[in-house]
Structure 1
Amino acid sequence: MPRLSLIVPAYKVQGYLSECLDSVLGQDYTDFEIIAVDDCSPDGSGAILDEYARRDARVHVIHLTRNVGLGHARNAGMEKAQGDYILFLDSDDTMTEGALGAIADRLDATGDPEILIYDYARSYWDGRIERNYRADLLRSDGQDVIRLADRPQLLDLLQIVWNKAYRRDFVDRVGLAFPTGYYEDAPWTYCSLISAESITLLDRVGVLYRQRREGGNILKTTSRKHFDVFDQYQRVFEFLDAHPELDQWREPLFRKMVGHYLTVLEKPGRLPSADRAEFFHRASADYRARVPKGFTRPAGGKGKKLALLERDAYAAWAGAMTAVKFRQTVKKRARTAVSFSKRGAMGAFYQSQLRLPLDENLAVFSSYWSRSVSCNPAAIDARLALLAPHIRRVWVLRPDAVGEVPAGVDHVILGSRECWAALARAKYLVNNVNFADVVVKREGQVHVQTHHGTPLKTMGLDQRKYPASTDMDFDKLLERCDRWDYSVSANRFSTTVWERVYPCSYTTLETGYPRNDVLVNATAADVRRARATLGLADGTRAFLYMPTHREYQPDFRPHLDLARMAEELGPDVTLLVRGHYFYGSSPRLADLRRSGRIVDVSAHHPVEDLYLAADALITDYSSAMFDYAVLDRPIIIHAPDWDVYSAVRGTYFDLLQESPGAVSTSQAELVRLLDSGDYDTADTTERRAAFRSRFCEFDDGHAAERVVRSVFLGEDTPVPFVPFPERTHAPTPAQALAPVERA
């Protein structure tokens, strides 16, 4: 039987769940079990839990068949717990290093008290860590074991259950269980503390309490569910009524109740405006029904609030709150006026356009900072033209990109009056990066963020851990991301990353990448056309080399001697070389192109044609590997500087261990693989299959249609996914060039 049982309920936390579980399983103390409860989560949380259970016998998973809420999910976990002590951990929080060992040591040293209270710290998205402001209550005064009467101020700690270890027989003796509804921690916390005969304290942070920037916290949800607080305190006082020996706690808990009611009333964004009066009247009724004899209101502003509550004087209370809100609004308007005055470069024209009605049938597209008509936005544009031809589609492009605009594509020049008018009035804005900071998100506008790759390297807030790789202003980044309404995801792996590193209030669309539809749907004729465009002879093996950008290198520096490599591989091999789009076409590549066996395809669009034409992909850390894997063709990872890249930029998994194919770390090794054919074996095929199942799970050729139907047509029924075993993909060059057999 384990010493500790940790109950971890999970609901819509796929972006944080792995970090939570890792923080527990990585503890140096090992005598514990995790009872993980999938509260019928609609995201990938259940699958993540199952994967951990397969890897570690200490993880036990319960899958609930319907969503029952946090409290009842905890109850389900407790029914399965076998430990001497029960601990709770919310699935977006983490245990600190060594916390479980410190908890176990304290329990042993104090003779197994009924409750151990440890500390927590708030962990903010910007990296700040702030310890509980009442940490002083956990400092030792020389007593190892106490009762609440020895330190009644413990009631002033936040009413939470996940900073305590509860002895299981104590939980059974008191009959503790979680109720349904919001604020379910209040009755458990108060009833347990006043009932405990032995409590010990641990002056140590055991939990990092994640302060999620958007979502995931009931305190940030406007809802009538906040009325549940009345039922929770009804349970507290019913418990007191059933235990007259605990009557000394009636006044302290009355004070906690009233303070809690006022917090719900005063905090913006909790109660719908139309329901505030009703909440006030119910709070007033509870006040009068439960006020203890001889209760004295505190002095000052708090006392005045209690007086209004006792008299049920909602009008007077609302008037006072309106005056406070008015003062805050005046200050906010002053700040807004200053902000707009600093946007002179935007011009009065843009401001005037923002005051005009939205054009419900206008969609604006941009890709790679307006450098091209490409990537996921281009694929969505093409599908939108077929499914919703009534919507006008306009691309924002830099002046130097206009020459590459495909025929028939309507466009405006970045920074022009026409551009600002389109951005101000379009109903839909679609981009694979963020629009400029000065672009205003209007009420009613729909922003679609498509992204432009599955992340191997760290992204968003995770880049804070690797300051050498970026000088990003993360506050500004999240302000830009706040404009997103939809985030298009290529796979569940990407979803968990995006939702964690861009913590904003958008809806994730797990559709697959629209740009990859062509890799599924292309025909043999499309493959032949792509090769002919590049001048590839029928007998030529074409290797596409696509290295990624390295922040610590200012220009494109191939990690290969391409001329020598071409000579060693022979005349039947062509190297298609594409530098990262940050570099453009370098003079070095122009020189190599004259060798005749190297084709500089850095400026070739669309990149999907290069994928179709190539027999195999050679890359290092580029997201191209995730797209090319859709084709189920060989991929070679050439990673001579993996140690440096992973240390400087940070990565989400070890590519050398989880590669989609053969791996080389030197040019000699790469040439040997290509020359011998060892890049395409049963082993590399098996690696690629595992990689595809993980990262190409949604790419069935209908991604763009899913986005269009969900976003532009408002359809609720998603386009079903083609089962993975039934999916097709574009034929290989060998298949496309094979002679057609005649009957």
Structure 2
Amino acid sequence: MRIYTYLVGRDSQIWVFSDFYSGQEFSQNKRYLFQYLSKENPGEDRPIWLTRSSELYERLLDEGYEVYKLNSIKGRYYILRAKYIPIDAGPGLFPWWLTGGANIIQMGHGIPLKASADSNTNWLHRLVSWKTPDYGVFSSEHERNHFNQYDSEAKARAWLDHRLDRDTHTIYTGYPKTDAIVSPAFDTIDGIDVVPEKLDIKESDVVIGYFPTLREGHGLNIDEVFDVERTEEFLQQNDAKLLIKPHRDLDTDTCILESNLIELIQPDTDSHQFLAEIDILITDYSSIYFDFLLLDRPIIFYTPDYTDYTRIRGVHPNYDNVIAGPRVNNFEELLKQLESIVNGTDEFAHRRQEIRNHFFKYADGNACERIVKSIKNT
């Protein structure tokens, strides 16, 4: 492929993107960089999305984006012609034997709070299906050091090992997905996104978001970690609404019943389209925490399964040093913290700013612009 690229060349206007490998098709950093290029640089850049999903293909086509089926002739052709291939986390769905000579831009999936997961990928698979990225995107030098500690004992993990490869050009720009939190400039797509206007949120409502992350080896019964009756009572008394958005791969067994005050967001939905609607975030070991820091709003870490979680998966070695909010282990403690915050107490405001300044060199919603400029200027 490198010989082919040398003879035929790759088109510096073409950027090729693809679905997320685990099924959340149009989301994360790739999605927002794709939308930025489509809107801001028409004629100068040509962003193309490749998808497995017939539904997503039709939706993007209707919105005027350039999109092809991943395994179509045109899909394969544009992988061969693209100069730039941005990816999130692992290699994803691309047939990597077609990418020789392209510039791979590794943007990652999120800043970790969890421990590094074990990789079942063997050395032969990594050898034939993966290549070192040309660019690694980070939000700050501090964040890169945080990643280094996260992966210090897991060098078998293909994507992160290569993301931190010494030959990769590091750029500290911030992440495209955080642009969507800070700036409302990104279009939502009906049928794929949760459109904020359809969440039935009143201006006076206190919006609480619960975002539990993946649990390998065990799921999470949300009915057991939330007392439904007392939750409803608290929401009614405080003009509040609860949005529950589980991780896309989280087994929730049975889920809390929805009502006028409690709404379940489908796991495959991109959180960043509506994250700015949330006033108080409840999470556990999820990287969504770091993204939410840019909004400078209260955060509670609800970890009722902390003992099991640390035994099965584990948390980042710096977990307790980087969280900026109370960590509670049962519903009683959670309710107490919620009541305190709703009544105006915010004991972690200074700590949030401190952690945000460590992890984000920029917080202005212009990460996409900086990424494109940095890559084109190297």
Residue 365 of structure 1: aligned partner: 17
Residue 191 of structure 2: aligned partner: none
Shift of 1:485: 0.8
In structure 2, C-alpha distance between the alignment counterparts of 1:414 and 1:679, rounded to whole Å: 51
Verify the 8 A CA contact 2:115 2:315 in the aligned structure 1: yes
Give SS of 1:636's match: strand
- 2:106 equivalent among 422, 442, 449: 449
- 1:707 equivalent among 358, 368, 371: 371
In structure 2, C-alpha distance between the alignment counterparts of 1:408 and 1:669, rounded to whole Å: 49
Residue 516 of structure 1: aligned partner: 178
Verify the 8 A CA contact 1:544 1:610 in the aligned structure 2: no
Q: Please state if 1:597 is matched with 2:261.
A: yes
In structure 2, C-alpha distance between the alignment counterparts of 1:681 and 1:691, rounded to whole Å: 19
Residue 97 of structure 2: aligned partner: 440
Letter in 1 for 2:330: S
| 1:299-318 superposed matches below 5 A | none
- 1:546 equivalent among 184, 201, 211: 211
- 1:677 equivalent among 316, 335, 341: 341
Residue 158 of structure 1: aligned partner: none
Q: Aligned pair in 2 of structure 1 residues 478, 676: CA closer, same or farther (>3 Å)?
A: farther
| 1:45-56 superposed matches below 5 A | none
Residue 49 of structure 2: aligned partner: 395
Residue 575 of structure 1: aligned partner: 242
- 1:563 equivalent among 209, 223, 228: 228
Q: Aligned pair in 2 of structure 1 residues 456, 486: CA closer, same or farther (>3 Å)?
A: same
Question: What are the superposed Cα offsets for residues 355-380 of structure 1, whole Å, 9 maximum, x if unpaired?
Answer: 85433322111242263222212222
- 2:161 equivalent among 502, 505, 508: 502
In structure 1, C-alpha distance between the alignment counterparts of 2:320 and 2:146, rounded to whole Å: 20
- 2:31 equivalent among 378, 384, 387: 378
Letter in 2 for 1:449: Q
Residue 138 of structure 2: aligned partner: 489
Give SS of 2:110's match: coil
Q: Which moved more, 1:637-646 or 1:654-663?
A: 654-663
Q: Please state if 1:415 is matched with 2:67.
A: no
Verify the 8 A CA contact 2:242 2:262 in the aligned structure 1: yes
Q: Aligned pair in 2 of structure 1 residues 602, 656: CA closer, same or farther (>3 Å)?
A: farther
In structure 1, C-alpha distance between the alignment counterparts of 2:86 and 2:7, rounded to whole Å: 21
- TM-score, scaled to structure 1: 0.43
Give SS of 1:683's match: coil
Letter in 2 for 1:704: C
Verify the 8 A CA contact 1:359 1:426 in the aligned structure 2: yes
Shift of 1:427: 1.4
Question: What are the superposed Cα offsets for residues 83-116 of structure 1, whole Å, 9 maximum, x if unpaired?
Answer: xxxxxxxxxxxxxxxxxxxxxxxxxxxxxxxxxx
Give SS of 2:77's match: helix
Shift of 1:665: 0.8
Alignment RMSD (CA, Å): 3.3
Shift of 1:602: 2.3
Larger proportion of helix: 1
Residue 271 of structure 2: aligned partner: 607
Structure with more contact order per residue of length (Cα contacts < 8 Å, sep ≥ 6): 2
Give SS of 1:688's match: helix
Q: Aligned pair in 2 of structure 1 residues 509, 687: CA closer, same or farther (>3 Å)?
A: same
Residue 157 of structure 2: aligned partner: none
Verify the 8 A CA contact 2:107 2:138 in the aligned structure 1: yes
In structure 2, C-alpha distance between the alignment counterparts of 1:548 and 1:573, rounded to whole Å: 23
Q: Which runs of 5+ in 1 are unaligned?
A: 1-339, 341-350, 717-743
Question: What are the superposed Cα offsets for residues 540-583 of structure 1, whole Å, 9 maximum, x if unpaired?
Answer: 21111100001112x55336236335323132221111111224
Verify the 8 A CA contact 2:182 2:294 in the aligned structure 1: yes
Q: Please state if 1:653 is matched with 2:317.
A: yes
- 1:588 equivalent among 228, 244, 254: 254
Q: Percent identity?
A: 25
Q: Aligned pair in 2 of structure 1 residues 426, 562: CA closer, same or farther (>3 Å)?
A: farther
Letter in 1 for 2:144: T
Give SS of 2:137's match: strand
Shift of 1:620: 0.4
Q: Aligned pair in 2 of structure 1 residues 412, 485: CA closer, same or farther (>3 Å)?
A: same
Shift of 1:669: 0.8
| 1:37-76 superposed matches below 5 A | none
Letter in 1 for 2:203: D
Shift of 1:494: 3.1
Verify the 8 A CA contact 2:138 2:173 in the aligned structure 1: yes
Q: Aligned pair in 2 of structure 1 residues 658, 606: CA closer, same or farther (>3 Å)?
A: closer
Q: Which moved more, 1:631-640 or 1:363-372?
A: 363-372
- TM-score, scaled to structure 2: 0.80
Verify the 8 A CA contact 1:396 1:414 in the aligned structure 2: yes
Verify the 8 A CA contact 2:213 2:250 in the aligned structure 1: no
In structure 2, C-alpha distance between the alignment counterparts of 1:492 and 1:481, rounded to whole Å: 25
Q: Aligned pair in 2 of structure 1 residues 387, 417: CA closer, same or farther (>3 Å)?
A: closer
Verify the 8 A CA contact 1:495 1:510 in the aligned structure 2: no
Give SS of 1:618's match: strand
Give SS of 2:104's match: strand
Q: Aligned pair in 2 of structure 1 residues 530, 442: CA closer, same or farther (>3 Å)?
A: closer
Instruction: Give the number of aligned pairs.
Output: 349
Give SS of 2:351's match: helix
Give SS of 1:440's match: helix
Q: Aligned pair in 2 of structure 1 residues 381, 492: CA closer, same or farther (>3 Å)?
A: same
| 1:78-477 superposed matches below 5 A | 357-369=9-21, 371-385=24-38, 386-387=40-41, 389-399=43-53, 401-402=55-56, 405=60, 407-433=63-89, 434-436=91-93, 438-440=95-97, 442-459=99-116, 463=117, 467=118, 470-473=119-122, 476-477=125-126
Q: Aligned pair in 2 of structure 1 residues 484, 473: CA closer, same or farther (>3 Å)?
A: same
Q: Which runs of 5+ in 2 are unaligned?
A: 152-159, 189-193
Q: Aligned pair in 2 of structure 1 residues 670, 400: CA closer, same or farther (>3 Å)?
A: farther
Question: What are the superposed Cα offsets for residues 56-81 of structure 1, whole Å, 9 maximum, x if unpaired?
Answer: xxxxxxxxxxxxxxxxxxxxxxxxxx
Shift of 1:695: 2.0
Q: Please state if 1:634 is matched with 2:298.
A: yes
In structure 1, C-alpha distance between the alignment counterparts of 2:49 and 2:99, rounded to whole Å: 19
Shift of 1:650: 3.1
Residue 156 of structure 2: aligned partner: none
Residue 691 of structure 1: aligned partner: 355
In structure 1, C-alpha distance between the alignment counterparts of 2:94 and 2:122, rounded to whole Å: 12
In structure 2, C-alpha distance between the alignment counterparts of 1:432 and 1:416, rounded to whole Å: 22
Shift of 1:625: 0.3
Q: Aligned pair in 2 of structure 1 residues 677, 408: CA closer, same or farther (>3 Å)?
A: same
Give SS of 2:339's match: helix
